[in-house]
Amino acid sequence: MKIRRLPIEIIKEYKKLDTSSITDALDKQGIVGGLLGIKGVVNDTRACGQAFTVHYVPCGINKGTVGDFLDDVQEGDVVVIDNSGREYCTVWGDIMSQVAKEKRIAGTVIDGVCRDVKTIREIKYPIFTKGIYMMTGKDRVEADAINIPVGISGVKVCPGDLIVADENGVVCIPISSVKETLEIAKSIEATEVHIVNAVKGGKTLKEARAEMGYHTLQTKAID
């Protein structure tokens, strides 16, 4: 499946936003994008880029490989791995992290676990997972497809969707909603800045929030 490429200017704008504002903007549109339970492994790292998806299944009698898909990932993409939340084996470690860093891949998101975190933290590679465990995925799981729609924490992630990950977690923005979500998120952040400044100027928090409609910023409009 060929990934439709977003303008680099849009991705640069998303890099200025945090995931909280983005999920509020998605809520405003009735879109679920937060990937529950997936957290950063390395402090003070974030990732923003289009999704390159990888799907894993348990190995059968004939063992497949854990995948050499990194050769196909473009600079700036985020690798999104659907390992069905498996915690008994990993699909990412130090070799993958070092190669990804060399290729300027933006980061990795795994519905599952990773290992070799000492090296990952030393090179400050942005990786977001459901945990850490040392057992290899070799002979336990295999990559059976790349760049197909996958399920991450119950959210559909398609190739080319925009992934943003930071200290708060990971969010997926469907490629069809990227532009509208960006404008809404920027408006929400501007409103929140205005509220803080209004309080600094002497208003109560209740007054400032009421003035700016804070409690309905993320509420989906009724058609």
Contact 158, 51 (CB under 8 A): yes
**Gap between the Cα atoms of 30 and 181, Å rounded:** 11
Residue-wise pLDDT for 146-177, tens only, equals: 999 999 999 999 999 999 999 999 999 999 99
Residue 210: the pLDDT is 80
Contact 7, 197 (CB under 8 A): no
Residue 2: the pLDDT is 77
At 192, the pLDDT band (50, 70, 90 cuts) reads: confident
Residue-wise pLDDT for 7-17, tens only, equals: 999 999 999 99
Contact 120, 134 (CB under 8 A): no
Flag whether pLDDT at 223 surpasses 70.
no
Contact 73, 79 (CB under 8 A): yes
Tokens found for residue 101: 């860093």
Task: Report CA-CA distances (Å) from 214 to 59, 196, 203, 206, 209.
Answer: 50, 12, 14, 10, 5
At 57, the pLDDT band (50, 70, 90 cuts) reads: very high
The percentage of the chain sitting over the pLDDT mark of 90, rounded to a whole number, equals: 78
Flag whether pLDDT at 48 surpasses 90.
yes
Residue 207: the pLDDT is 77
Q: Give the global pTM.
A: 0.93
Structural domain boundaries in the chain: 32-173, 181-216
CATH number of 32-173: 3.50.30.40
**Gap between the Cα atoms of 124 and 86, Å rounded:** 24
